[in-house]
Amino acid sequence: MLDQLTHSPHFYHYLYLAVAFLAAFNILEVLFLLVHKTRMERNEIRKEALKRRVSTAIVTVTDPAEILPEPSDYVEYAAYSEAISSVLESFEGELAQRASGLVRKLGIDSYYRSMARDAVWYKRASAIDTLSAFRLPHNREFFLAVFRSEASADVRYRIVFGLSLLARGSEDIVAISKALSSLPYLTAKYTEDIFFNIITALKLAGKEEDFGKFLTAIMNDASIRPLIKRDCIAACHAAACERAATVVKRYFLTFKHEPEILIACVRSLVRMGNFDVIHEALFHPDWRVRLTGLKYAHLSKDDLLKDLKRLLHDSNYHIRVNAGQALARLGAPGAQALREAAGADDKFAAEAAAYALTLAEAAR
């Protein structure tokens, strides 16, 4: 093959051409690299200056749109949107209203709405992220419309996230849950995040009890995956949705064979000040439920000394170690039990007790 190539009259012409092309390409590459770097640096400086200007205008001027120019390119739109998002994250009331007003008056939302229809999926995703950060109620319909036509799951997840920030009541929760159900389950934290946003939005709207109603409605709905139910309860924990405490307790009593739901229930109820479930959790056959109970055992009003001593002999390593630490948190009676266990025949229990004692001493 090589012989044929090297004997071809055009072969060396092509090789010379390749050399010339590569040499020129390398020089152009270096030039482009330097020009691009300079341009990026200038854009960064411009963006930072504009961000400062926009933030200052929102804080100091009643109608910032009057003194701020309309953004003209991607860098300026990015500067405006970052400054506005930052204000919306940090302030409520009049300042937040001014920032939101700026989005509409300067056509920033229109720009990102058109970008949300771009052919490249990650540009659409970025646009949806930005629009979500604005938390503009009128974007709700836009999000729902885009969701219906969107092909990329990556973008659809982001749209649902954006919708969750705009929830106003029961109808929205149902719409978001439907949208969520139409997508493959992503992660526990994503779903929890969605419901966390919903609860936060409902709390702001004074409709926190709507979430409790939603939890009741889905409790026996077999079409909703247990994982989703668990994430809803985990969101109650994260967002401290206290009005849902009664429903969460009902979940705890109903889903005896769903350890994941039980763990979420224990964590949520404890955060809401309901410690009744801790004792029962310590007896659950699934070690993860027992472990969750142990984490909060010191808060229980029941006398758990005997149960914790028993758990020092548990077959699971994590339970033994955490039972020791739970005993240490009980104060003098717990410490006494640990000293006794540290000298016991059960090597594993003795190790767990000795470790808990050293930790307690170090903490002192």
**Residue 40 interacts with another protein (CB under 8 A): yes or no:** yes
Write the binding mask 123 to 162 for another protein: x where contact by CB under 8 A, - elsewhere: x-xx--x---x-----------------------------
- Taking CB under 8 A as the criterion, the residue among 187, 246, 254, 336 binding another protein is 187
Instruction: Name the token pair of 340.
Output: 């006794």
Closest approach of another protein to the CB of residue 192, in Å: 7
Site for another protein in 12-31 (CB under 8 A): 12, 15-16, 18-19, 22-23, 25-26, 29-30
3-class SS string, 271-336: HCCCCCHHHHHCCCCCHHHHHHHHHCHHHCCCCCHHHHHHHCCCCCHHHHHHHHHHHHHCCHHHHH
**One-letter amino acid of 178:** K
- Taking CB under 8 A as the criterion, the residue among 75, 96, 188, 245 binding another protein is 188
Write the binding mask 209 to 238 for another protein: x where contact by CB under 8 A, - elsewhere: -------------------------x--xx
Q: In the chain, which residue ranges form alpha helices assigned H by DSSP?
A: 2-7, 11-60, 74-90, 94-105, 108-115, 121-134, 139-149, 153-164, 170-181, 188-204, 209-219, 226-239, 245-254, 259-271, 277-281, 287-295, 305-311, 317-329, 332-342, 347-363
Measured from the Cβ of residue 33, the count of other Cβ atoms closer than 10 Å reads: 10
Half-sphere exposure of 275 (CA within 13 A, CB side): 12
Closest approach of another protein to the CB of residue 301, in Å: 26
Q: Candidates 100-108, 145-153, 279-287, 354-362 — which segment interacts with another protein by CB under 8 A? A: 354-362
Output 126 or 292, the one with its CB closest to another protein. Answer: 126
CA-based nearest residue to 186, from 210, 212, 157, 209: 157
Binding site for another protein (CB under 8 A): 1-2, 6, 12, 15-16, 18-19, 22-23, 25-26, 29-30, 32-34, 36-37, 40-41, 85, 122-123, 125-126, 129, 133, 186-190, 192-193, 196, 234, 237-238, 317, 320-321, 348, 351-352, 354-355, 357-359, 362-363
